[in-house]
């Protein structure tokens, strides 16, 4: 949670670290403007949305990946 908050509050520094690490890991160079643009499409949050989980379960069933029980009552655990 603390790291997510730091990322939200230090966008420029976070993006700089991210670009450098992506280069290390993939050899792909990402322009800062492109990453800044992509950043806007993402919401950093520690929340686990029940709606997102329900949609993902339905998608998995529709796509044929989940067969049998799809009980998620024990899925989320807060340390």
Separation CA 28–CA 1 (nearest Å): 29
Residue 15 CB partners (closer than 8 Å, separation 6+): 32, 35, 36, 39
Near another protein by CB under 8 A: residue from 9, 32, 43, 50: 43
- 9: contact with another protein by CB under 8 A: no
Near another protein by CB under 8 A: residue from 9, 12, 26, 32: 26
The number of beta carbons lying within 10 Å of the beta carbon of residue 16 is 13
- 75: contact with another protein by CB under 8 A: yes
- Interface residue list for another protein (CB under 8 A): 1-4, 7, 14, 17-18, 20-22, 24-28, 30, 34-35, 37-39, 41-49, 52-53, 56-60, 62-66, 68-79
């Amino acid at each position: 949670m603390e790291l997510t908050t730091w990322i939200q509050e230090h966008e420029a520094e976070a993006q700089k670290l991210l670009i450098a690490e992506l280069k290390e890991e993939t050899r792909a160079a990402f322009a800062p403007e492109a990453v800044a643009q992509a950043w806007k499409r993402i919401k950093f949050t520690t929340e686990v949305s029940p709606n997102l989980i329900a949609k993902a379960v339905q998608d998995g069933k529709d796509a044929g990946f989940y067969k049998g029980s799809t009980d998620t009552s024990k899925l989320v655990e807060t340390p």
